[in-house]
Structure 1
């Protein structure tokens, strides 16, 4: 689309982000695992900012959901603070995913810290 000079809106970017985060390991019966595409999703976030087309809460939630599903606490927390840094408002879904991840992984200290930051 970019090569053809078409403008890509936030909705199109969000679809790409979600697709990148859903690509993962195939069934073990196939004995094949695709490369993790979340690095490309993070790169796409940076490109979106550079193009001035977002990202929005939905963009971040797609990647956050992947991090939560794979119990990647550190990457999830970095993403949450990245959201706050650009003044993108976290929604209920963002908060719920984050708290569930932190509590499930015994990180109550970080959950409390996050609660206080999000409360502000």
Structure 2
């Protein structure tokens, strides 16, 4: 739910738009948290807002919604969407970003202890 606002879910539902939402949930504001992890001495601020039941939120907006916990489930939902497009929300849980550094070239040195934050 963090990447979009509930208003879009309601609009897509009300207008019956053929939109497939796929959210990758890691239960934090991952990119910001990774910056704090690498460059602020692992002091985290405002990046763990708590668990949100995104499927319930999407459902509350009138969108068909599912929690997806396997690649097979994801493939089945996408295959079902293709012949009958409709408002559909899939919440895919992924590993917490702190456990896996994203492939961001500027962050390559961070895990080895280089605390100098790159300039973007």
Q: Same fold (TM over 0.5)?
A: no
**TM superposition score normalised by structure 1:** 0.32
More strand by share: 2
